[in-house]
Amino acid sequence: MSMCRSDELGLQASRQQRAKPMQGPIIIVGAGQAGVQVADSLRQENYAGRILLIGDETHLPYQRPPLSKDFLAGVVTEAQLLLRTPDMLARKNIELITNIRVNAVDRAAKTVALSDGRVLAYEGLALTTGCRARPLPMQGGAHEGVMTLRGIDDTRHIAKAMKAADNIVVIGGGFIGLEIAATARGFGKTVTVLEAGDRLMARAVSPVISEYFRKHHESRGVRIRLGAKLVGIASHEDHVKAVETAEGELIPADLVIVGIGIIPNTELAQAAGLECEGGIVVDASSRTSDPSIVAAGDCTVRRENGRMLRLESVQNAVEQGKSAAAALMGRDRPFTACPWFWSDQFDVKLQMAGLSAGYDQAVIRGSIDDGVFSAFYFRDGKLLGSDSVNQPREHMATRRMLDKNVSPTPEQTADLTFNFQTLLK
């Protein structure tokens, strides 16, 4: 994690000055999930002033989760991805500026400089700049036919290349890589997933879930290579031809899709001197180290239990967006709900609730063989979270139990006759 200017007193100062609601223009940088939420929530907070939502993409604000799933599969249209129509934004008097980048923030003058030369004044500023896909850091990573997926245009390029490809190699066995692999198999392609670690989705799920998904992908014809060490991409006339492993093997590929994580877009915040540490540092109410500036979504990190936590999820973008709007209005609306996330791969819905890192006991409830089960995680007998496979009810029950701070015992959890609802009355 990189550390840019650390302003230890900043967050404190920010809290002390929270009482004064904004009246002048509020500028939101980044028109994605979090940015749209900040704008919407400002109106819900009865903010009557100008709201400018500025995004550097050419598209209207859209949701990203379907990009590696139904949109890539061609069963969802661009119109169905939109978070808000122009009409909806107009009704709330939210001024959307697309295809324009915010190049700089001058905190002293309280202005932002736009890529078209305009300089706009703000009273409140929300940074919702998201993140970008991490490029492949090796020889051949920039060849034609080597692609990453973050936006609509990326999906379009991948979908087009996928049609023409026979052999597809996905580098990275995380959520996005596996979702793309499942979609590509749906088109009947030969798909190989290369994962450097010893199991799939290792950052987010426990070994039992990783193993279930490895088997499921393999049963659907995806080749999974764990512990894969890559040295480069071989090409012919600058178009990818194969992926080369450290053992000297050449895995044929007409299309390589790289899903090896993200880089948060913090450059603007760093240049403006805001505290950043692998993300823009915010508190639970989405305040940055500057009292006039909030931040929300994938570009942020917050301190929790002595470590920096970055959640890259729709829920986080939405909840932090709500907190950020409240904070700009001088109100405290901390995001304290239990984190949750989902991923769709083939016919399997994986839903995660809570943060299970550091668990000392895992309890399986249901049948792994039937593909309908949950893994519940405990520390010192207390529920930390769960990963549910085709078990939406148990996912919802975990969220409610964590939000209410109640915990079943591991024994109750293992007992299929035990109903979690008895704890939630």
Ligand X SMILES: Cc1cc2nc3c(=O)[nH]c(=O)nc-3n(C[C@H](O)[C@H](O)[C@H](O)COP(=O)(O)OP(=O)(O)OC[C@H]3O[C@@H](n4cnc5c(N)ncnc54)[C@H](O)[C@@H]3O)c2cc1C
Q: Minimum distance between the CB of residue 159 and ligand X, rounded to whole angstroms?
A: 13
Torsion of CA 178, 59, 133, 233, to 10 degrees: 80
User: Please, what is the end-to-end C-alpha distance for the chain in angstroms?
Assistant: 43
Q: Per CB under 6 A, does 382 bind ligand X? A: no
Minimum distance of ligand X from residue 262's CB (angstroms): 8
Interface segment toward ligand X; rule CB under 6 A; list 41-49, 54-62, 84-92, 413-421:
54-62
Q: Which stretch binds ligand X (CB under 6 A): 11-19, 128-136, 209-217, 277-285?
A: 128-136
Q: Which stretch binds ligand X (CB under 6 A): 160-168, 311-319, 358-366, 387-395?
A: 311-319
Report the nearest approach of ligand X to the CB of residue 165 (Å). 19
Would you count residue 70 as binding ligand X (CB under 6 A)? no
Can you read off the two tokens belonging to residue 353? 């609730």
Within 146-165, which residues bind ligand X (CB under 6 A)? 149-150
Single residue of 68, 148, 206, 266 touching ligand X by CB under 6 A: 68
Identity of the residue numbered 227: G
Residue 309's beta-bridge partner residues? 302
Number of H helices, E strands in the chain: 13, 26
- Cβ atoms of 297 and 320 within 8 Å: the answer is yes
Closest CA to 278 of 258, 303, 313, 259: 303
Residue 178 lies near ligand X (rule: CB under 6 A): no
DSSP bridge pairs for 338: none
Q: Which residues of 229-243 are buried (b: 16+ CB within 10 A; e: fewer)?
A: ebebbbbeeeebbbb
Q: In this structure, is the dihedral angle defined by the CA atoms of residues 254, 145, 172 and 34, taken in order, positive or negative?
A: negative
Among 4, 11, 22, 29, binds ligand X (CB under 6 A): 29
Instruction: In angstroms, give the least distance from the CB of 150 to ligand X.
Output: 5
Q: How far is the CB of 378 from ligand X (least distance, A)?
A: 24
Stretch that binds ligand X, among 57-65, 165-173, 205-213, 278-286 (CB under 6 A): 57-65
Contacts with ligand X by CB under 6 A lie at 29-35, 54-57, 64-65, 67-68, 101-102, 128-130, 149-150, 176, 265, 268, 297-298, 312-315, 317, 341-343
